[in-house]
Amino acid sequence: MATRAEADFRTRLQNWIPKLVLSPSLAMMLVFVYGFIAFTVYLSFTDSRMLPSYGWVGWENYSKLWRLSHWEISLTNMAIFAGLYIVICTAIGLMLAIFLDQKIRGEGFLRPLYLYPMALSFIVTGTAWKWFLDPGIGLENVMHTWGWESFSFDWIKNRDFAIYTVILAAVWQTSGFVMAMFLAGLRGIDNEILKAAQMDGASNWNLYRRIIIPQLRPAFLSAFVILAHLAIKTFDLVIALTGGGPGRATELPATFMYSYTFTRNQMGIGAASAVIMLITIAAIMIPYLYAELREKK
Amino acid sequence: MKRITNTLKATVAVFALGTGMAVAEDVEVLHWWTSGGEAAALNVLKQDLEAQGIGWQDMPVAGGGGEQAMTVLRARVTAGDAPTAVQALGFDILDWGAQGALANLNDLAAQEGWDEVVPEALQAFAKYDGKWISAPVNVHSTNWVWANKAVLDANGIAIPTNWDEFVSAVETLAAAGVTPIAHGGQAWQDATVFDAVAMGAGGPDFYKAAFIDLDEAALGSDTMKEAFDRMAFIRAHVDENFSGRDWNLATAMVINGEAGFQMMGDWAKGEFLNAGKVPGEDFLCFRFPGTQDQVTFNADQFMMFDQGGSVSAEQAALASAILSPSFQIAFNKVKGSVPARTDVAGDELDACGQQGMADLASAASSGNLFGSMAHGHAAPASVKNAIYDVVTAHFNGEYDSETAVAELVDAVSIAK
Amino acid sequence: MAQATQDTAIRTGRVTRTLIYLVLLLFALFYMLPLYVMVVNSLKPLDEITGGGMMNLPEMWTLEPWRKAWSEAQIGVEPTGLKPYFWNSIQMVVPAVALSTVLGALNGYVLTKWRFKYDTILFGLMLFACFIPFQIVLIPMARVLGVLGLAGSVWGLVLVHLVYGIGFTTLYFRNYYAVFPTELVRAAQIDGAGFFQIFWRILLPSSGPIAVVSVIWQFTNIWNDFLFGASFAAGDGAPMTVALNNLVQSSTGVKEYNVHFAGAILAATPTLLVYIVAGRYFVRGLMAGSVKG
């Protein structure tokens, strides 16, 4: 009954609706993400201190940034932290997922236990960890009262080891989440292939190494992205657990950036460090996104 | 009850007539005083205003000695939605003054005579460009030492009056198996100690040259190296578990007799009083050895944000209430600090508080009152934190004293 | 889905199984440890805590800290406890989670079933947005909210969380819908169904698991956010985390650790509940969604 013109209009409308639906999200992204990134890049070339100001200073903030031993420390810490955090979380997550996948009784009970740390904010679990790691009142003290006098665990007070306590608490928070991602991947694997391989006499070890783990590739990539993004954003944890100390031993780029932008009134240097962080994120993410998205075509 | 309400209404009416405003608006106050005593003291101010018919919009943001609140403030001002009054410290106030964001309270100040009653060193942080921009609440002094009297007596230690006596007192305690110095290893606490140590090592002129004038020669001098050496001595006499400890837990060590001394500002007194200890009997308060004549201070103030050109009646009422003698005494009794105006009687304060008031008055008149570097009253935030970095790194063994001096000069020059 | 949820075909011997149980239990202990510290200490009077023995069970059990944290603790100038702030958080979280999930679902639908030129690039742009550090957006965001007149209001906060949540929700829904048979959509199209009809009748009914993932993720992130809540909410409209922070971080005075821990658990109750109740679906949803993508 519809006339031809009306039908044309409907089709055209149908073609436009998807783009219209997408447009509010895109507009928000452009303004609130990319606009703000551009603003930050601009700020990093200005003499902004307490509030944004627009006097152009060229590369001065960057040259100051690289002269600060503070920044070097936070970059080194980032390398140690991100590297170990991602590897350990992935390893623990994978192991727990594989173990939980063995028709375990009580899986429904264990799974939320592994997952719940993700639900808590570090404002307070940080305090619990701080106590536990404190040699005066925590684990070391408990071991001493239980009679193991020579036991020593004072990493959080030790400049060379404090960063590892940050890793420990971070792993505690997210490894359960990674477990869930791997478990999901494992449950999706076709059992027929496994049965066939078993008939050929493959050992469990070989089944995992040759067949199962390679099939988890998407899960590995997703885990990597989530972990990398959490590693870079790690902030609350450090503040609650060590406050960046002892000394400056656990400063990370995120705490560096916050402290220069907001507590030290050196917004220009803070913006410069943010730009470096963003470039680092981009260097990691763009190849990943490229690989992931191209494959789908 | 009804009578009071009526009187209230009448007061409001008169007030409203006087200022030509029909309805009193709320004041919004951003602060970080959320612990029991402080909040209760602030509540006095709130009730004071409510009695004048002015509502109080509370905006508490605790954390990091006000760092968190300062971040929030920046967001609020950027959004064009500045609170009426904001708790602030030292250079933060001047920085906001320089941005032109604060109100000009000169009329009120003249009317109430603030210039005569507030010490000049403190006015330097409450005025910008000759204009009053904030209302000081109190004066803390930071070069105090807190000691457990029983521990000192048991080891035959008298109050040390210079560095050498302090050294021998510390060594006596160490030999007796008591932790000589209770300390919390956080950057600001390290710096608080450093303030007093540097003042003691180099005297007021050196302190001023190094931390207020940021003179490179003073920063890089042998005196500065001596100050770092003394810090190393202190570091060698804190317990093993000092790092990251909150200051109040360090105070608890002195209260319980586990440790002899703590170098901390006058807010530590509240911990002793809460534990039921009596000044002079259970615990002692004295100036850091070698700085008996000096007072390094920091002061809490409420800076008043410009609300569209003129000072509103509510804002003026708030500022006036903050500086009223009754609030100054009521608040400072709780806080451990002393009133920001020197004309109030200190009878209600305890022994340490009265000594604090006397010290402040004499230091102010003899030119020995200096802003505390560690608490942002000597140099701007960027420099303060740069010094923190070096002091903390040295205290934690990252640098020796010589490197620390070199790093200090460098760090200050980057931050300036 | 039935096929996907089955257990593995791997068979294990008795010794191996014992070892596996052992490891799983050890890790359960590891994960429980901080919660144990928090719960145990929240049930003690303060002097038992300051007297040492952090790991000990209470000698005198008390619920007083819980009551105090909920209704009496000093948050601002008045001792209100966390109670009034709970509602503030709910008011902010519910619309933000709902809106970001709905928009994420629509975006995912468009990006997989109504593909157009450069759509993957657009998706990449949205995904990269997940990685922006929140500290740098604070000042420009404050400016924008001020201009929009949303500063200090719940809707301002909702907008902020919506903006920085869309990347994640779009990712989840896109990967989920990517494996949804496109033929069904095409068939419906030929039958004359419109864009929204197809979404409503065909995709939405099977979106349960991924919606759960999206809701859990957003709920946790938004509920636990501190930075935006502190900066963009008005004083008495502050969310729970800001109140908790004021309780825990107060600068001077006696630190009531037992009240702090009780408050922390109270503040985390909604997220904990969400995890425990919806945790099952979480794994199922992840499996069907982002992982396989």
Q: Residue ranges of the domains in chain A?
A: 49-296
- Count the helix, strand and coil residues of chain B and give each as a percent rounded to the nearest 5: 55, 15, 30
Amino acid at site C48: E
Single-letter code of the amino acid located at A148: W
Give how far B59 is from chain C: nearest CA, Å. 4
A282, exposed or middle or buried, with CB in 10 Å at 0-12, 13-18, 19+? middle
How far B409 CA sits from the closest chain A CA (Å)? 13
Categorize the per-residue pLDDT at C254 as very low, low, confident or very high, splitting at 50, 70 and 90: low
Annotated domain spans of chain C: 14-62, 83-288
Which residue has better confidence, A234 or B235? B235
The verdict on a CB contact (< 8 Å) between C131 and A296 is no
pLDDT in tens, chain B (416 residues): 444 444 444 444 434 333 334 356 789 999 988 877 778 778 888 988 999 989 998 888 887 678 888 888 988 898 888 899 999 998 989 989 998 899 999 999 999 999 999 988 899 999 999 999 999 999 999 999 999 999 999 999 999 999 999 999 999 999 999 999 999 988 889 999 999 999 999 999 999 999 999 999 999 999 999 999 999 999 999 998 888 888 888 998 999 999 999 999 988 888 888 788 999 899 999 999 999 999 999 999 999 998 877 888 899 999 999 999 989 988 888 888 899 988 888 888 888 889 999 999 899 889 899 999 999 899 988 899 899 989 999 998 889 999 999 999 999 998 88
- A2 has pLDDT over 70: no
Asked if C132 lies within 8 A of A191 by C-beta distance, the reply is no
Whole-number Cα distances in Å, B247 to A287, B252, B268, B387 = 47, 9, 8, 20
Mark which residues 26-55 of C lie under 8 Å from B by CB: 50
CA distance C231 to chain A (A): 13
The ipTM of this complex is 0.82
pLDDT, residue C176, reads 80
CATH 1.10.3720.10 fits domain A49-296: yes
> C195-246, pLDDT tens digit by residue?
888 899 888 888 877 888 788 889 988 998 888 888 888 767 888 888 888 8
CA B303 to centroid of chain Cα atoms? 15
Give residue limits of the domains in chain B: 2-139+300-354, 141-297+365-415
Q: Measure Cα distances from B367 to A269, B223, B281, B293 in Å.
A: 37, 22, 32, 10
pLDDT at residue A134 in the model:
82
Chain-centre distance of CA A208, in angstroms?
26
pLDDT digits (tens, 9 = 90+) for A58-69: 899 999 999 888
pLDDT by residue (tens digit) across C127-164?
888 888 888 888 899 989 989 988 888 899 999 999 99
Mean pLDDT of all residues in C94-115? 92
- Please say if the pLDDT value at position C21 is more than 70: yes
Of B382, B22, C266, C282, the C-alpha closest to A48 is B382
For C83-288, give the CATH class: mainly alpha
Q: Is B11 helix (H, G, I), strand (E, B) or coil?
A: helix
Q: What is the reported pLDDT for A297?
A: 43
Question: pLDDT (tens digit, 9 = 90+) per residue, C51-88?
Answer: 667 778 888 899 898 998 888 887 877 788 888 899 99
The confidence score (pLDDT) of residue B6 equals: 44
Fold of B141-297+365-415: D-Maltodextrin-Binding Protein; domain 2 (3.40.190)
B81 vs C contacts (CB less than 8 Å): 146, 151-152
Q: Which of B410, B389, B376, B372 is nearest to B197 (CA)?
A: B372
Which chains are within 8 Å of C by 3+ CB pairs? A, B
Q: Do C254 and B60 touch (CB under 8 A)?
A: no
- What is the SS3 assignment for C273? helix
Band (C293; pLDDT cuts 50, 70, 90): very low
**What pLDDT sits at residue C1?**
33
The domain made up of B2-139+300-354 has a fold known as: D-Maltodextrin-Binding Protein; domain 2 (3.40.190)
Residue C5 has pLDDT above 60, yes or no: no
Distance of CA C186 to the CA centre of its chain: 35
Q: Is the dihedral of CA C157, C162, C165, C167 positive or negative?
A: negative
Beta bridge partners of B28: B57
Q: What is the mean pLDDT of residues C91-102?
A: 94
Q: Which regions of C117-169 does DSSP assign to beta strands (E)? A: none
The pLDDT value given to residue C72: 83
What is the pLDDT at residue C106?
Answer: 94
**B2-139+300-354 matches B141-297+365-415 in fold:** yes
Choose among C228, C224, C217, C218: nearest CA to C135.
C228
Lowest mean pLDDT: which of A9-13, A258-262, B128-132, B194-198? Answer: A9-13
